[in-house]
Structure 1
Amino acid sequence: MKVGLGADHNGFEFKEEIKKYLENTLEVEVVDFGCHSCDAVDYPAVAFEVGTAINNGEVDRGIIICGTGLGVAIAANKIPGIRAATCHDVYSAERAQLSNNAQILTMGSQVIGPEAGKKIVRAYLDVQFKSSHKVQQIIDKENEIHNAKL
């Protein structure tokens, strides 16, 4: 599995901890979309990069971190076909993937700490989506809206 990882400046240090965990403990290949320091960056740009990489098949799933996890989720969800879920507990992370096929997990560095984040990441990555008519309804509606705009 290849995971796209990103953060804004509020999530930089948290991202670095998660990156080490992914690479060294879970032995997952990571593509780091930044940011690469604590210097201020706009979180939508990072979210768009990770979401686009998923749509292009460059990565299988994404993890994006900002202060709350909410802003990056909202931004990523603007990309057609992307489902990003903010999760701050293990159960929600598991269900985000298992029930909803969320390709992106978002977390808030000012909401939870890195140790909780590692457990959440493991729960999210340890499960695989099973087909769901509910998710298909979401996909169909998104396609209907997109086609109506064309």
Structure 2
Amino acid sequence: MKIALGSDHGGYNLKEAIKKYLEEKGIEYEDFGTNSTESVDYPEFGMKVAEAVVSGEYQRGIVCCGTGIGISISANKVPGIRCAVVSDTFSAQMSKEHNNANVLALGERVIGQGLALKIVEVWLNTEFAGGRHERRVNLIGDIEKKYAK
């Protein structure tokens, strides 16, 4: 599995902790920025990660900002992305198992590092259940196609 990572300044420290976690687990990743806590605009980094995942080169993406909200909204604007903002392990599991989320968004100012890393672990180790959920995920794709220009 290859992971695309990105954050703004508000999620930079959490992204760095996730990088260390991925390295310890031997999981390949690429960091799409930012590279410091200097103020930047989160939409740029949400888009970069989302485009990397949609390209097929990366199987999943993880994005971080202060709350996880802004960067997830940005990522979700890229057709084919299902980015879930998650603050607990149950939601992490369900976002992948039922919704086939291909990008995970975390808020550095919302959850502690320990919980965030547990969320990442659960999300990365959960597979999409398919079945009845496949139809629903396909319906999400149909909505996306309806509004694509």
TM-score, normalised to structure 2's length? Answer: 0.95
- Partner of 1:9 in structure 2? 9
Which amino acid counterpart does residue 21 of structure 1 have in structure 2?
A: Y
Q: Which runs of 5+ in 2 are unaligned?
A: none
Quote the Cα distance in structure 2 between the aligned partners of 1:113 and 1:63.
Answer: 16
- Partner of 2:89 in structure 1? 90
SS in 2 for 1:62: strand
1:64-97 deviations in Å (ceiling 9; x for gaps): 0000000011000111111100001000011111
Question: What's the CA shift for 1:8?
Answer: 0.4
1:15-34 deviations in Å (ceiling 9; x for gaps): 1011100111x221011011
Do residues 105 (structure 1) and 104 (structure 2) align? Answer: yes
Quote the Cα distance in structure 1 between the aligned partners of 2:69 and 2:85.
Answer: 6
Q: Which runs of 5+ in 1 are unaligned?
A: none
SS in 1 for 2:144: helix
**Structure 1 runs, 4 residues or longer, greater than 4 Å off:** none
Identity of aligned residues (%): 45
Quote the Cα distance in structure 2 between the aligned partners of 1:19 and 1:142.
Answer: 31
TM-score, normalised to structure 1's length? Answer: 0.94
Which amino acid counterpart does residue 118 of structure 1 have in structure 2?
A: L
Which amino acid counterpart does residue 18 of structure 1 have in structure 2?
A: I
- Partner of 1:51 in structure 2? 50
Quote the Cα distance in structure 1 between the aligned partners of 2:13 and 2:143.
Answer: 37
- Partner of 1:140 in structure 2? 142
Alignment of 1:43-82 (within 5 A): 43-82=42-81
Do residues 22 (structure 1) and 22 (structure 2) align? Answer: yes
Quote the Cα distance in structure 2 between the aligned partners of 1:144 and 1:107.
Answer: 29
SS in 2 for 1:106: strand
